Structure 1
Amino acid sequence: MRVLVLGGTGGIGPLLIQALLAANHSLVVYARSPNKLSEDITSNPLVDVVKGDLTDRDALFSALQHGGQSVNAVVSCLGPPVNVTSGFTYPSDTPLAKAYTLLFELMHIANVKRIIALGTASNKDEHDKFDLQFATLVLGVATFAHGAYKDIVAIGKALREQPIGELVWTLVRVPLLTTSKKSDFVAGYVGDKKTKTHLARNAFAAFVVAELNGNEWANKAPLLSDA
């Protein structure tokens, strides 16, 4: 499968790229700063790198159709920084949600129908139940990193508003991310007695690879956590 990767230079990105390559997918990595990618990624014959930012319509479309043929799917680990600093500095106009809206438009033109995107527990789902730990985490983000919170929520809203049949999406909601080497995961919903408040970045990558092959969570928003 030919896959467009967004967010490949972030904390999850390199792990996701390596997991996709290990599963023999060929990749187009779209990055604003390709120099942040390691040489073992950029020199891999299965990887093409396209430079551009998320507001560059032409560059983003060329990534979707790199080499003259549309990719089969888009996987994105884009997300706003959630920390004390971002609470004061992050833009209030939901820039990532706007970028996703442009991406969806271009995917429609390029006839690319599959996307797996990163979300968080701030993206509520009808299958969720009350859980005090998650409620506390979400309240903390909404209070101290409100701009980032608004963008996260807007991303999920933009995804769910896509016309049925036009886009097959999975919003992978993650809790607190860790650098643990484990890759086992549980997929479910908030308050289901299975999911926890931590997830290894490796486990996110493992889920994405499995979901590309199985489509078990098509048009759903699972919460992922360590097993």
Structure 2
Amino acid sequence: MRLLIFGATGSMGVLIAREYLWVYRSCTLVLYVRNRAKLPQDLVEDRNVIIIEGELDDMDNLSKAMEGVDAVITALGPTGRKGPFYPSGTPIASAYIRIMVTMKGHGVRRLIALTTPSVRDPEDHFSLPLVFLRKTFATIAPNAVKDIVAIGRVIRTQQEELDWTIFRLALHSSDSDPENCQVVAGYMGDGKTNAVSSRVGAATFIIQELDRREWIWKSPILS
């Protein structure tokens, strides 16, 4: 398998990259990053890792990164750190459109995208903690939430052409040993999921989904 990851310099992106290299030891991992200096040294030095630097609007480099790829994982998304100063428009959702166009141009169907419960799902029910988090984030960073919602919308339009999965993660707990971490996938208010997720456990679950393919065309919450 040859996997392409976007957002590999972020905390989740790094963990997903490391988990992939652990599980698929002889396979190739392509990391598309803006600045390779932000990658941890173990990823830079791994012989199975190919690093391609580029912007998300650089179609030539996006196409280069997509060559021979079997699946794409995106850990892109607004963090809300800019709060009310987050740019208007939907820059990350627009980047997803370019990524998906490039995927289709190279015949790549499998997409796993990470986002938050700000993206709603018809299977969701009322959950006070998650609704509180959603409304709080929307108040602090309304433009970021608009971008997140747009990400879910543009991905779901590709159901006929891409085998996508949207994994929604809320609050992150401290990193833990994945062997002692049970990850639950479900929907808001289903009595199984909650507002907290382990980064390490989520990374393991996401890499397992590459082979399991249990959540195609679905957008569960991981907790």
Do the two structures share a fold, i.e. TM-score over 0.5? yes
Q: How many aligned residue pairs are there?
A: 218
Q: Corresponding residue for 1:116?
A: 112
| TM-score scaled by length of structure 1 | 0.93
What is the letter of the counterpart of residue 214 of structure 2? Answer: E
1:77 maps onto 2:75 in alignment: yes
| 2:140 is equivalent to residue 140 of structure 1 | no
The 5 A counterparts of 1:169-180 are: 169-180=164-175
Q: What is the distance in 2 between the residues matched to 1:100 and 1:38?
A: 25
Amino acid aligned to 1:118: L
Q: 1:20 corresponds to which letter in structure 2?
A: Y
Residue 66 of structure 2 aligns with an amino acid whose one-letter code is L
Q: How far off its partner does 1:180 sit?
A: 2.2
| Residue 159 (structure 2) pairs with residue 153 (structure 1) | no
2:192 to 175, 191, 194: 194
Moved over 2 A (4+): none
Give the distance between the partners of 1:148 and 1:203, measured in 2 at CA.
26
CA deviation string 1:46-68 (max 9, x = no partner): 10000001111111110001xxx
Q: CA deviation at 1:217?
A: 0.3
Q: Which amino acid aligns with 1:4?
A: L
TM-score with structure 2 setting the length: 0.95
The code of the aligned residue for 1:221 comes to: S
SS at match of 1:12: helix
Cα distance in 2, alignment partners of residues 140 and 131 from structure 1: 14
Cα deviations by residue, 1:75-111 (Å, 9 ceiling, x for unpaired): 111110124xx22221111100000001111111010
Instruction: Tell me, in whole angstroms, the C-alpha distance in 1 between the residues paired with 2:174 and 2:65.
Output: 29
Give the letter for the 2:152 counterpart: G
C-alpha contact 2:159 2:217 (8 A) present in aligned 1: no
Instruction: Write the distance in 1 (CA, Å) between the matches of 2:139 and 2:192.
Output: 27
The amino acid that maps onto 1:172 is: F
Cα distance in structure 2, aligned partners of 1:107 and 1:20: 20
Are 1:120 and 1:152, in contact at CA under 8 Å, matched by a contact in 2? yes
**Inter-partner Cα distance in structure 2 for 1:39 and 1:177:** 24
- Structure 1: gaps of 5 or more residues: none
Asked if the contact 1:182/1:200 (under 8 Å) is kept, the reply is no
Q: Cα offset for 1:179?
A: 2.8
Counterpart position of 1:15: 15
